[in-house]
Amino acid sequence: MKSVNLRGIISTVVTPFDDNDQVDYDLLRSDVRYLLDSGVHGICACGSTGEGQTLSAEESAEICRVVVDEVGGAVPVVGGIIRNSTAEVLTYARALKAAGVDALQITPVHYVFAPSDDQTVEYYRTIGAEIGLPIVVYNVVPWALVRTPVLRRLIEIPEVVAIKQSGGDMHLLADILAFYRDDITVLAALDDLHYPAFALGAHGALAAIPTVTPRLSVELWDAVQAGDHGRARELHEVILRVWRELDGPDLPERLKAALNLQGRKVGNPRRPFTPAAPDTVERIRTALDAAGLLT
């Protein structure tokens, strides 16, 4: 199995769609270059920010191939998979491995019926053994969260190298860091709480907010690593105000509105979602302007 260094700010990247609801790969390349120029330490494609749940295996593979090509080995590339069976995940995983990703970000099975602990462990064990790539457990679905006792078992799977703790649960993140920080890479995805997550010892962040605030997020990470908590708190509050205007069930729409306002053309969200409403766009514009993020 190849090794991968997942540390610092791993930014998600949006998937641009054109007016015909097809992926615009030229816009994707452009935004990957923007993120790289901003100093991020890794890029994740086809996750929640990338509307991965809407993508076919073929689309996911081509998106990852383009990202890998554009990155050119400068930072790790993580390919996201959001599916609901071992068979589906294996199909996507084989395609993403062929596209050249360095690691896979995989949600637990989550559609209405949550699997048992044993089934979750076997799911990741089977995928790891058959694909042989490093796996990030994407702990995001509130009704299917991987609990700390199950994580103890997942750590024993050689391919499981990291957990991305999301799902809005800072308490679970604190427990994971306290009990397992030395055994597995812990990446924060609580977008409004990266500062306390870093202060508690998270190894980095893999989340949506650095997509909009990549330079600020990298500066926040650097400030905490340097012990400059005064500066880190200032950056946290700037980023927090931006996140408050992005957070919502229509997150892909809002993220794309924010990037378009920054002059980063990223097209539309995938249907049935539509571009953000004008009043939402204006609130996002105000927050970006206050943070100094408008060109």
Specify the DSSP element, H or E, that contains 35: helix 25-37
Look up tokens 């990741």; give the residue: 124
Query: Is-catalytic flag, 92?
Result: no
pTM, rounded to two decimals: 0.96
Model confidence at 3, pLDDT cuts 50, 70, 90, reads confident
Taking CA atoms, 10 is separated from 48, 112, 113, 295, in Å, by 14, 29, 30, 23
Q: How far apart are CA 96 and CA 87, in angstroms?
A: 14
Q: How far apart are CA 26 and CA 106, in angstroms?
A: 26
Q: How far apart are CA 262 and CA 5, in angstroms?
A: 30
Specify the DSSP element, H or E, that contains 12: strand 8-12
**pLDDT, position 211:** 97
Residue type, 42: G
Asked if 194 and 236 count as a contact pair (C-beta separation under 8 A), the reply is: yes
The CATH architecture of the domain made up of 8-227 is: Alpha-Beta Barrel (3.20)
What are the DSSP calls for 250-294, one per residue? THHHHHHHHHHHTT---BBPPTT--PPPHHHHHHHHHHHHHTT--
Phi/psi region, residue 253 (left: phi>0; alpha: psi -120 to 50; beta: rest), is: alpha
Give pLDDT tens digits for 203-243: 999 999 999 999 999 999 999 999 999 999 999 999 999 99
Q: Which of 34, 92, 124, 138 is catalytic?
A: 138
Give pLDDT tens digits for 100-151: 999 999 999 998 888 899 999 999 999 999 999 999 999 988 778 888 899 9
Give pLDDT tens digits for 50-97: 999 999 999 999 999 999 999 999 999 999 999 999 999 999 999 999
**pLDDT, position 55:** 98
* Cα 91 off chain centre by: 21
Q: Which of 164, 180, 195, 256 is catalytic?
A: 164
Dihedral of CA atoms 203, 111, 130, 146 in degrees, nearest 10, equals: 40
Query: Is-catalytic flag, 138?
Result: yes
Give pLDDT tens digits for 165-205: 987 678 889 999 999 999 999 999 999 999 999 999 999 99
Look up tokens 């920080």; give the residue: 181
DSSP state of 5: -
